[in-house]
Amino acid sequence: MYQLARDVQGKISDYNLLVVTNAKRDEEGALTLEAEQLITDIACYSRLFHILMWAGKSERFKVLGTPDGLKRLESRGLMDSRQLEVLQSSKLEQDQLHTAPLEWLMVRANQAMEQGHMAGDTATKGMLLKQMVALRDKSRAITDKQAGRMPLAYVNIVQVLVDTFVITAPIALYSRLGDYSVFAVFFITIFYTGLNSLAKIFLDPLNNEKRRTYSIFMDLGVFMREVNGQSREYQKAGRDLPFYDAKKSD
């Protein structure tokens, strides 16, 4: 699950990099106004997609997909009023809202290619499509992991077996080990109950079932902040290019 979360981040970053490096520039190497707007739009859609994707998978951030949550995102500048209107009228299920900004990412790039604000050759378009499909696959794989875990009935049976084994261990060991059975039971209890708790953590990495008393879960807020920051980095890094100035001076 952790690797899939990082893969989603990586694909978003790859897509933003491709857009920035293929956006139109003027004779001095600076991005044109239309290219700047394109990159800003793509960064906005990628942030919105990432947030809504996790809102559809994590109970902790589920509120962001509600009408009030969407309005809050709009008030915080994560989308504009037009984007909010489109999402509210899309008739998508709450856990599928992220598919709208996912499509916006590709459609906006296609529009820029047609208008000449971005390289529109077959190779560039193919790479963008490849990253988009990979992004969809990785995000969908997270849902599949959540749906395809072992049945909870099996977990309950294992819990009963572990508890029974730990409780009856002193009786079974005392006849052979005597007082030393205390130490043996101590290590058995630590090992089996710890292993059982670890298995539950793996079963619910997003902590949707609120097992925080003993669970170490993925902090999705960290992922969101990283994507929000990374979505702007390529635009800052590629706004001006040194070798255009050098060429002009020659």
Q: Answer whether 218's CB lies under 8 Å from 205's CB.
A: yes
Q: Answer whether 141's CB lies under 8 Å from 148's CB.
A: no
Q: What is the pLDDT of residue 249?
A: 45
Rounded distance, CA 111 to CA 166, Å? 65
Rounded to two decimals, what is the model's pTM? 0.79
Q: What is the pLDDT of residue 241?
A: 80
Q: What is the pLDDT of residue 98?
A: 95
H helices within the chain, ranges in order? 2-22, 33-55, 67-75, 81-88, 99-115, 122-147, 152-177, 181-203, 220-237, 242-249
Listed as ranges, residues in the chain with pLDDT below 50 are 247-250
Rounded distance, CA 130 to CA 107, Å? 14
Q: What are the extents of the domains in the chain?
A: 2-147+219-241, 152-203
Rounded distance, CA 40 to CA 33, Å? 11
Picking from 123, 126, 70, the residue whose alpha carbon sits closest to that of residue 100 is 70
Q: What is the DSSP letter of 95?
A: G
Q: What is the pLDDT of residue 176?
A: 76
Rounded distance, CA 137 to CA 128, Å? 14
Q: What is the pLDDT of residue 212?
A: 54
